[in-house]
Structure 1
Amino acid sequence: MVHIAIAGGSGEVASEVIDALVAAKKHEITILSRRGLIWRTVNYDDKSELAEALQGIHTVLSFIQLMTDPNQQAQKNLIDAAILADVKRFAPSEYGSSTTVDMPWWARKDATQEYLKQVNESGKTIEYTLFQPGMFLDYLAFPYKTAKHLTPLNTMIDFENRRAVVVEGHDAIMTFTTVQDLAAVVARAVDYDGKWPVIGGISGNRIPVSRILEIGERVRGHPFVIEKVKLEDLERGNLKTSWSLETSHPSVSGEQATSLLKAVLIGILLSGAKGAWDVSDEYNQLLPDYKFTQIDDFLAEVWKGKP
C-alpha cells in the first residue's frame, strides 16, 4: 500500500481514476482541492503549504485543468513541493495525445514536461510519467454517456448523424482508449514495482480513420457523409465544412467555448494528420495481461438499436 495524492481531484477524469483506485482497496488516497470539496484544501501558490500537505505521500497524480493554470505555475509549484516532501512519483496533467502540435489549448503541457526535465537534470530528481491514452473512445458514443463522470463530447467523426470530416490525402492513425481503461491502467501503474517510463503511452485501439468509418457504417447501418478538407486550408485557419463541433469540456466557459469549438476541430484534424494521436504503448507492454475494450465491440454495443 502507498499513499497517493490527487491534485485537481474534482475533475471528470480524476474522478474516474479515483473510483478505480478506491475499488482496488489497496492505497490511502488524499484529494487536494482549491475548493475544499473533498479532503484537504490547498493553496497552489504556496509551495511550503503544498509541501506540508504532501508529507508522507508516495505518488502524486495531477489533474489540474490547463485552462485554469495558464502559466502552469500551479503544476510547477506542485512539482517543487513534491520534491521538497520527498515524493517518489509524479504524473502531470496529460491524459491525451502524444504531442500538442496544432493544439494551442494544450500547449501548456509542454511547459510542464520541460520543467520536469529541468528539475531532474539539476539533481532534484523525481520519477515521473506522462499518461497518454490518445482520445477517449467514449466520445464516439456521443451523445450517449458511457462513463460515470466523463461528459460526452462530439468529434470529427459524428456517429449520431452518420457524418465525418477528414483531411484529404491523410488517413490519420488514431489511438482510442476508454476512460475506464485509462483509469484501470493508472491504478495498476501505481502498483507497478519497476521504474515508470517517462513516455507513458496507453494504446487501447490503434486504428486509421478509414477503419473507424467502416465500423461506423456497419454499426449505424448507413453510409457516412464524408466532408474532406485540405491541410493547407486548415493551416490558414479555414474550416470549409457544413458543420463543426457543438460541445466543449465543462471546464471551458460558455464564452470561451464559442471561440474554441472551431479551433479545436481544426486542431484535432491537423494534429491527427501529423501523428499526434498515434500514441505509444509503454503501459501495454508493462501490463501485458490487461485486456482493453475493443473499438468494434464498444461501438456495436453503444449503437445497437439507436435511431
Structure 2
Amino acid sequence: MPTLAIAGGTSASLGRAIITAVISSEQSFWNIVILSRNMSAPLWLRAIDKDGTRAQIYAINYHSVDSLAAALKGVHTVVSVTSAVDGSQAKIQINLLEAAVKAGCKRFAPAQWGFGPLGSENISVLKWANEGVWDACVKHKDKIESAKFNIGSFMNYIGHGMYPIPSPTSNEETMLRQLAAGKGYATGEDEACQGLQRQGDLKDDSGAFLVGLRNGVAELPQTEDGRWPRISMTSLRDVGRFMAASLDLPEWEEDMTMVGDTLTMGELLAHAEAVTGKKFQVDVIKPRDLEMKLGETVQDDFMGLMWAEFKLAYTRDLEDEVVLQPVVNRLCPTVIPMSARQYMENYWSNV
C-alpha cells in the first residue's frame, strides 16, 4: 500500500478530517504517517485506530530538512496542514517540500487550505503563510508534483452559533466511546464544528462568523452598489473526503479547488432564518466601512485584520478569490459535499 504523510496531522481540524476520511473509506488503501512535534496521539485518533495499525506518529523537527527527509523515506504523498503562528509557516512548507524531494516522494500539497488562487495575492494576512512557497514548488516541478488545495471558507463557522459556551465535557472513556461511534467525531458541537476554533468575530461572542444561529444575529458584507456578494464554503469533513479521493487520482491539477456550496450572502441569511424560524438582526457592512476598520485596526491584531480583510474580499465578489471553481468536485464525482442549507438543517436539528 502507498503511504501518505500528513504534516501537522494530529490537529483536531484538517488533520482529523483527512485521516478519518482515509481510514473510513472502503476504497482507500493508504498507510498513514503523521509528522508532529510530539508523539502524543489525540483521543480522536485513538478512537478510530485503537491498535495503531493505520497511522504512525513520527516526532520531527520542522526546521531540519534532514529530520523531515528521514521521516518521509518511502512516502508517496506529503500533505501539510501545519499552522505555525510564530512566523515560520512558509519556511516549514519549503522545508517539507525540500525534504520530500530529498526522500524521493512523488506528490506534495502545501498548507494552502483557503481562498482561491487569487486569495494569497490579494489578501495580505494570507501572505505570511504562503510567501515563496509556490515559487519553490514550481522550482522543483521536475522532481515532484505539487498542488494547492483551495477550499474557500470553512462552513463550520456556522456551527459556533448553535451551541452554548462553554461546551460540556466528558471523561476520557466516554469521549473515546463517542468518538469511536462517530468515526472520529463526538455528537454535538464536535461533530458540527469539526475542530474549528471559536475565532469568529460576531458581536454575540459565540465565535461564529457571518451568521450566528442560536442568537439570530448576522454581520454580512455587501458590494458598494448594495448587492449580496457570493461565498464558496466547504465543511471540514468534506475537505477530508475530497482529499482522500484525490489521493487516488492519476494526476493533480495545479489548483485542486473544492467547493461544498457557492451561494450569496443573502441566500445564506435566508437559509439561516428558514431553518431556525427566527428573524435575524442583521448588520450590513460595506467596502468603505471595512476599509475604515482596517485603517483603525492595530497591526498586531492579526485576527481583527483577518476578518476585516476577508469581508472586504467578499465585497469584491471575484472568481478564483472567494468564488471558487469546483475542480476536485469534477475529478472526484463520487464525493457529494454538504450544502450550507443541509449543514444548518443537519446540526441545528440536534441542538
Task: Supply the AA of the counterpart residue of 1:303.
Answer: W
Equivalent-residue separation in structure 1 for 2:113 and 2:101 (angstroms): 22
Report sequence identity in percent: 24
- Is the alpha carbon distance of 1:299 and 1:103 closer, same or farther for their aligned partners in structure 2, counting shifts above 3 Å? farther
Aligned ranges 1:32-51 → 2 under 5 Å: 32-38=35-41, 39-51=57-69
Equivalent residue, structure 1, for 2:252:
196
1:187-219 deviation digits (Å, cap 9, x = unpaired):
111122x21011011111011111111111111
Shift of residue 52 of structure 1?
A: 1.8
SS in 2 for 1:201: coil
- Residues 1:117 and 2:138 aligned together: yes
Aligned to 2:208: 154
User: In 2, distance between residues paired with 1:91 and 1:108?
Assistant: 14
1:30 matched to 2:49: no
Residues 118 and 58 of structure 1: CA distance in aligned 2, closer, same or farther (over 3 Å): same
Match of 2:21 in 1: 20
- Structure 1 match to 2:309: 267
In structure 2, relative to structure 1, the CA distance for the partners of 1:20 and 1:296 (3 Å cut) is same
Query: What does residue range 290-305 of structure 1 map to in structure 2 within 5 Å?
Result: 290-304=335-349
**Contact 1:90/1:127 (CA < 8 Å) preserved in 2?**
yes
Q: CA deviation at 1:260?
A: 3.3
2:150 to 132, 143, 161: 132
8 A Cα contact 2:221 2:265, kept in partner: no
Residues 28-84 of structure 1, C-alpha deviations (whole Å, 9 max, x = no match): 111111223352111122212221221111000101114244361111111011111
Q: Does 30-39 or 276-285 show the bigger shift?
A: 30-39
Superposed displacement of residue 155, structure 1: 0.4
SS of match in other structure, 1:61:
strand
TM-score (normalizing by structure 2): 0.75
Residues 171-195 of structure 1: CA deviation (Å, up to 9, x unaligned):
2211111111110111111122x21
Aligned-pair CA distance for 1:117: 2.0
Q: The residue matched to 1:236 in structure 2 has which SS? A: helix
SS of aligned partner of 1:300: helix
Whether contact under 8 Å (1:102, 1:270) holds in the other structure is no
Quick check: 1:200–1:280 contact (8 Å CA) kept in 2?
no
The answer to whether the 8 A contact 2:115-2:153 is kept is: yes
- d(CA) in 2 for partners of 1:183, 1:261: 25
CA contact (8 A) 2:286 2:315 kept: no
Partners of 2:306 and 2:110 in 1: CA distance: 22
Q: How is 1:63-142 mapped onto 2 (pairs within 5 angstroms)?
A: 63-70=81-88, 72-98=90-116, 99-100=119-120, 101-105=122-126, 107-120=128-141, 123=142, 125-142=143-160
Which consecutive unaligned segments of at least 5 residues does structure 1 have?
A: 241-255
- Kindly report the root-mean-square deviation, in angstroms, between the aligned alpha carbons of the 2 structures: 2.4
Q: Structure 2 CA distance, aligned partners of 1:292 and 1:230?
A: 31
CA distance in 2, matches of 1:42, 1:204: 34
Per the TM alignment, residue 268 of structure 1 is displaced from its structure 2 partner at its CA by 1.8
Residue 16 of structure 2 aligns to which amino acid in structure 1? S
Aligned residues: 286
The 1:174/1:239 distance shift into structure 2, 3 A limit, reads farther
Query: What is the SS of the residue equivalent to 1:32?
Result: strand
**Residues 1:62 and 1:2: Cα distance change in structure 2 (over 3 Å):** same
Where does 1:137-216 land on structure 2 (aligned, <5 Å)? Answer: 137-143=155-161, 144=163, 145=189, 146-152=192-198, 153-168=207-222, 169-192=226-249, 194-216=250-272
1:245 corresponds to which residue? none
Equivalent-residue separation in structure 1 for 2:9 and 2:3 (angstroms): 15
Gap change, CA 1:167 and 1:293, over 3 Å in 2: closer
Residue type of the alignment partner of 2:139: Q
Aligned counterparts of 2:16 and 2:39: Cα–Cα separation in 1 = 15
Q: Deviations over 1:235-265 (max 9, x none)?
A: 233599xxxxxxxxxxxxxxx9x93342232
Contact 1:6 1:32 in 2 (8 A): yes
Q: Which runs of 5+ in 2 are unaligned?
A: 42-56, 164-188, 199-206
Return closer, same or farther for 1:214/1:239 CA change in 2, 3 Å cut-off.
Answer: farther
Give the secondary structure class of the aligned counterpart of 2:301. Answer: helix
